[in-house]
Amino acid sequence: MGLFEGKKGLILGVANDHSIAWAIAQQILDGGGECGFTHLPDRPDDERQRNRKRVALLTDQHEAARFLVPMDASNDDDIRAVMSRAGEEFGKIDFLLHSIAFANMDDLKNDTIRTSRDGFKMAMEVSVYSLLAVCNAAQEVLADGASVLTMTYYGGEKAVPGYNVMGICKAALDASMRYLAYDLGPRGIRVNALSAGPVRTLAGRGAGVDDMLQLYDKMAPLGRNITHEEVGRSGAFLLSDMSDGITGEILHVDAGYNMMGSPGRLLEAHRS
């Protein structure tokens, strides 16, 4: 019997086959779970519906991928419509994955001190407030004992040059996760965050992932980078009943990089 046999839930934020959200979803689908998916809305003038097609290429391969609908994370009507669809399809849901973040490229590329006011507002609304909005709208469809997971990064805990305004967003997301864990705790609903090391994703390209991959490879205790599959398994664990005593936590899946207090073997290599 699969880990997610009889379980139903929502996957918010798959962009393509390199998305961490898809790596987690694959583990759930392979484990017997049923999922509803959202995709970034396509522009009205995009007749090819590129955003939908990229995700549909993945979900169409799985009978247990029950639906795929657009969702603008800054639009409360869109969020409510997704939860209504989930209620129609599943009744109650057992898990919810929030893998949504956005910042203007101009603001990401600028030093943090030069972040524009409008860009800051947008990044915080999409990357942080959307978790609150989604959880609020999902209250009626979330089953008691359900699990909610969001995606964070070490740049919200420590300054990571190049991550800039998104690091501020992740710090706020981490705090939001903890307060949600408190609010939803009386119903047995758990809320956690997964902090993955750098992997090649659509979002990662905007945050200088190639440089980070080289750094982690030399500095992480395991002496390597992580894989999509490793993040997928860890995310599925946090969304499953196997993690039923865990809430308000950040699980780092980064080959141990976050626990280092010095450059470690990178420094040794420099000396030699």
- How large a percentage of the chain has pLDDT more than 90? 86
Confidence band for 210, pLDDT divided at 50, 70 and 90: confident
User: Is there a catalytic annotation at residue 153?
Assistant: yes
Dihedral Cα 241, 97, 85, 16, nearest 10 deg = -130
Q: Which of 154, 163, 216, 257 is catalytic?
A: 163
Confidence (pLDDT) at 201:
62
Return d(Cα 219, Cα 91) in angstroms, integer: 47
Q: Which helix (H) or strand (E) holds 30?
A: helix 20-30
Return d(Cα 150, Cα 98) in angstroms, integer: 5
Residue 94 has pLDDT above 60, yes or no: yes
Q: Which helix (H) or strand (E) holds 10?
A: strand 8-12
Confidence (pLDDT) at 269:
67
Confidence (pLDDT) at 47:
72
Return d(Cα 122, Cα 137) in angstroms, integer: 20
190-196 and 142-152 beta bridge pairing: parallel
Residue 102 has pLDDT above 90, yes or no: yes
Q: Which of 153, 154, 216, 257 is catalytic?
A: 153
Q: How large is the C-alpha radius of gyration of the chain?
A: 18
Confidence (pLDDT) at 205:
55
Confidence (pLDDT) at 178:
98
Cβ atoms of 118 and 31 closer than 8 Å = no
Residue 207 has pLDDT above 70, yes or no: no
Confidence (pLDDT) at 1:
73
Q: Which of 48, 158, 148, 38 is nearest to 86 (CA)?
A: 38
Return d(Cα 197, Cα 260) in angstroms, integer: 13
Mean pLDDT, rounded, for 56-60: 97
User: Is there a catalytic annotation at residue 129?
Assistant: no
Residue 52 has pLDDT above 90, yes or no: yes
* Interval 59-84: pLDDT, tens: 999 999 999 999 999 999 999 999 99
Confidence (pLDDT) at 26:
98
Question: Which tokens go with 80?
Answer: 């409510």
* Interval 138-190: pLDDT, tens: 999 999 999 999 999 999 999 999 999 999 999 999 999 999 999 999 999 99
Alpha-carbon separation of residue 161 from 152, 174, 215 (angstroms): 16, 19, 13
- Identify the structural domains of the chain with CATH numbers, from first to last: 8-271 (3.40.50.720)
Q: Longest C-alpha distance within the chain, in Å? A: 63
Per the prediction, the chain carries an average pLDDT of 94
Mean pLDDT, rounded, for 216-235: 95
Confidence (pLDDT) at 268:
74
Question: Which tokens go with 192?
Answer: 């956690």
Residue 43 has pLDDT above 60, yes or no: yes
Quickly tell me which residue has 């970034």 as its tokens: 40
Confidence (pLDDT) at 270:
62
Return d(Cα 233, Cα 47) in angstroms, integer: 36
Residue 133 has pLDDT above 70, yes or no: yes
10 Å Cβ neighbour count for 102? 18
- What is the distance in angstroms between the CA of the first residue and the CA of the last residue of the chain? 52
Could you give the strand order of the β-sheet that contains 8-12, starting from the edge strand earlier in sequence? Answer: 65-70, 34-39, 8-12, 93-98, 142-152, 190-196, 250-253
